[in-house]
Amino acid sequence: MNLIRPIYSGLLYLATPLAMLYLLKRAKKQPEYKEHWNERFGVAKYPKTQSNRVRIMIHAVSVGETRATETLVEAILKRWPQVDIIYTHMTPTGREVGRKIAQRYGNRIQQSYLPYDTPFGVKRFLKSVKPALCILMETEVWPNLTYYAKRMGIPLILANARLSEKSLNKGKKVRSLIKPAMERLDITLAQSEKDAERLREAGCDPVVVLGNLKFDFTPNLPQLRTGKELRKSLTRPLVLFASTRAGEEEIFLKQIKQWNEKAKQNSEVPPLWLIVPRHPQRFGEVKDLIKSQGLSLSERSEIRDWKQAFGKDGPVVILGNSMGEMNFYYSLADLAIMGGSFGPYGSQSVIEPCGIGVPLIVGPSIFNFEMAIKEADKASAIVRVENAEDAFTKIHELLSDKEKLNQLSSSALVFSEKMRGATQRTIEVIDEILSGGERGNKIS
């Protein structure tokens, strides 16, 4: 008998007070963490399945995973009118993105936090929600969730699955816990061949490579139109630092300050710099960092006259202190720098800017999106650099060469189109599982 899962469960029960303290600590910066506590600990009144309806559970931890589900959710609800969805999340920002998606489909999507992985919480949640299928996004394979889903006869799909070498090595340290959890999955749908190899080594079987769902995204057209119209007011190039993480802004701001001082000495007009932090709880922190460098600043939430902000006498830096507007920010940019790739974060997603056709510079840290970044690099759809200094050298080079910028933009669009199609391939797998009537819920 393998005792590792019961030991793991016991430790989770003991850690419950620490989880509460963690939520309170996070709530100091992000008050939303105080909400829906009962859902997190398995004592909530979870949304019931409507009679004569079939429910699919989609677990999308945070913002990136939730956004990756957009095309899949649309395809599921269109393909099966009798199917509803329950979204589960772990972060307030993921839940908020899910809420905006759910609004489009009336009452066909419900939301909840997934309980922490205790036997009590997981069992009560699954018995209340009664999903016909659980789709776990990207990397979220929890031992008790998979154990009790399997016991209840609920099929499990790990969709858009990825696993870095770093995560695989971490998993090997608790292999006796993680491997059985992976083995309980009915099928794993990997983003790339390398992901598939690592997932098989971790215990997943079968594994098929279907590509990355995120490439199937549809840009927010109103945001793109707004950005395109506002670009007409720009009197200087606009460089976007997209989804920046802690430690990166400070490095970038020092380079910006040096650039602007040199430009002033040479009577040149420097670019307008737009910084959009990844996490909203850091907006205030990044604002203080900008001010500490003595750089003039406008906040997106305070701008009323974009023509003035975009003029030669406008601010040195604009702080993008809003959520859900990345398409708008990308549409403003002549060139973007990818956050997360200049710190130990593995880069944020390059898929969205490539799909919009934004020339993009990516730093050395890429493990979260290794396949997409390496494929984009092969297709000359992005520019890769080793550090922030090289990035600013490349910014200067590209802004001085309109032809290179245009070629990068065109290559990004071609690359993005070539990578599409994972949503339809995933729907075919779901169809095969559900139409088998494993729980008597035959869908045709």
Quick one: 286 and 395 in the same domain?
Answer: yes
| In 278-363, beta strands by DSSP E | 297-299, 317-319, 335-338, 360-362
Q: What pLDDT digit, counting tens, does each position of 375-422 carry?
A: 999 999 999 999 999 999 999 999 999 999 999 999 999 999 999 999
185 domain-assigned: yes
Quick one: 408 and 428 in the same domain?
Answer: no
Which residue do the tokens 């380079």 mark?
Answer: 255
439 domain-assigned: no
Quick one: 35 and 173 in the same domain?
Answer: yes
Quick one: 404 and 425 in the same domain?
Answer: no
**Tokens at 27, concatenated:** 């709530």
Q: Is the pTM of this model over 0.85?
A: no
360 domain-assigned: yes
Quick one: 168 and 229 in the same domain?
Answer: no
Give the whole-angstrom CA distance, residue 109 versus residue 98: 9
Which CATH number fits the domain that encloses residue 170?
A: 3.40.50.11720
Check: CB of residue 130 under 8 Å from CB of residue 156. no
pLDDT at 319: 98
Which CATH number fits the domain that encloses residue 275?
A: 3.40.50.2000
The H or E element containing residue 377 is helix 370-378
pLDDT at 437: 45
pLDDT at 441: 42
Quick one: 72 and 139 in the same domain?
Answer: yes
441 domain-assigned: no
Neighbours of 61 (CB within 10 A): 18
Quick one: 297 and 427 in the same domain?
Answer: no
pLDDT at 442: 45
- φ, ψ dihedrals at 344, nearest 5°: -85, 45
Catalogue the active-site residues: 65
User: Could you say which residues of the chain have pLDDT below 50?
Assistant: 437-444
373 domain-assigned: yes
276 domain-assigned: yes
Burial (CB count <10 Å: 0-12, 13-18, 19+), residue 60: buried
Domain span at 402: 221-418
Quick one: 408 and 429 in the same domain?
Answer: no
Quick one: 172 and 245 in the same domain?
Answer: no
Q: What is the largest CA-CA distance in the chain?
A: 76
379 domain-assigned: yes
Q: In 51-192, where does DSSP find H-type helix?
A: 63-68, 70-79, 92-102, 119-129, 143-151, 165-172, 175-183
Write the CA distances from 385 to 23, 24, 151, 200, 382, integer angstroms. Answer: 37, 39, 49, 32, 10
Quick one: 249 and 393 in the same domain?
Answer: yes
Quick one: 329 and 187 in the same domain?
Answer: no
129 domain-assigned: yes
Quick one: 391 and 428 in the same domain?
Answer: no
Counted domains in the chain: 2
